[in-house]
Amino acid sequence: MTRLLVLCYVLATGLTLRADAVDYLTEVLPIMKEHCWDCHSNETEVKGNVALDPDVLFDQIGKYNIIRPGNSAESGFVERLKLDETHNDFMPRKGKPLPKGEIERIEAWIQAGAIVDAKKPTEDETKRMAEMKTTAPAPGEGRPAEPGFHSWKNREGRVIEAKFLGLEKDSAKLLLRNGKSYVVPLTSLDEESAAKAKRLVAP
C-alpha cells in the first residue's frame, strides 16, 4: 500500500515537473523567506555573495551558476540543501534542514526552467522556456526521449519519464531526472510498462 502511494506520488511529481506556472515568486520565495532570509537578502545580509531577492536572483541563474535551469541535479543551490547537516557547506548555515517536500518544490521549480515571475517572464526566460520545450519533450508526445529514459505508465494512466535501474524482487527501480530513485511494484504499472521492465532486464 505504501508503495502504491509512492508511485502515485512519483507520477504526480513527474507531472508537476512539466507544469508551466511553477515560478520563484509563488513556489520558492516563501521557503527562502522562512529559512534563508537572515543571511541572503538585501533587506538583511548577503552572505557568500548570494542575495535571494527576486529582483537580483537572475545573477544566480544560468548554465554555470548555482541555479541551473532544467538541471537541479547539478545546481549547487540544491546540493547544499541535501548535504548532511554536519557538512561544512550545508545550508541553511543555522537552523533546521529544509523538509523534504520543500526541497522537492525547489527542484521542481529548477526543472521547470527556474523562472522568477511566470506572469512577467524576461526575454531570456521566454527563450529558455521555448528551448526547454524542444529539448525535453513531454513523455508520450512521440518525439525522441533522452537516451536511457523511458516513459512509464501506471494503471491509472499517469505517465512519468525515468531511467530503468533494474528489477528488485517484483518491483522496478526507476531513476527520475532529478536524481531520485523509486521502487515501483510491477503490479501497479500498466501491462506494457511492466512488460518493458521485464524486457529491459532480459539479456
> Which chain residues interact with ligand HEC by CB under 6 A?
35-36, 38-40, 47-50, 66, 76-77, 80-81, 89, 91-95, 98
- Name which of 5 and 64 has its Cβ closer to ligand HEC: 64
Q: Closest approach of Cβ 89 to ligand HEC, in Å?
A: 5
In the complex with ligand HEC, which residue's Cβ is closer, 22 or 81?
A: 81
Work out how close the CB of 117 gets to ligand HEC at its nearest, in angstroms, rounded to a whole number.
19
The amino acid sitting at 137 is P
Residue with cell 535571494: 52
DSSP character for 54?
G
Q: Which amino acid is located at 152 in the chain?
A: W
Q: At what angle do helices 100-111 and 2-16 cross, to 10 degrees?
A: 40
Nearer to ligand HEC, 47 or 173 (CB): 47
Nearer to ligand HEC, 38 or 190 (CB): 38
In whole angstroms, give the CA distance from residue 152 to residue 161.
6
Rounded to whole angstroms, how far apart are CA atoms 174 and 196? 12
Quote the least distance from Cβ 104 to ligand HEC, whole Å: 14
Percentage helix, strand, coil, to 5, in the chain? 40, 15, 40
CB of 65 to ligand HEC, least distance (A): 8
Which residue, chain included where needed, has cell 518491483? 171
Q: Which is nearer to ligand HEC, 47 or 196 (CB)?
A: 47
Q: How far is the CB of 62 from ligand HEC (least distance, A)?
A: 12
User: Measured between alpha carbons, how far is 25 from 117 in angstroms, rounded to an integer?
Assistant: 6
CA gap 183, 165 in Å, rounded:
10
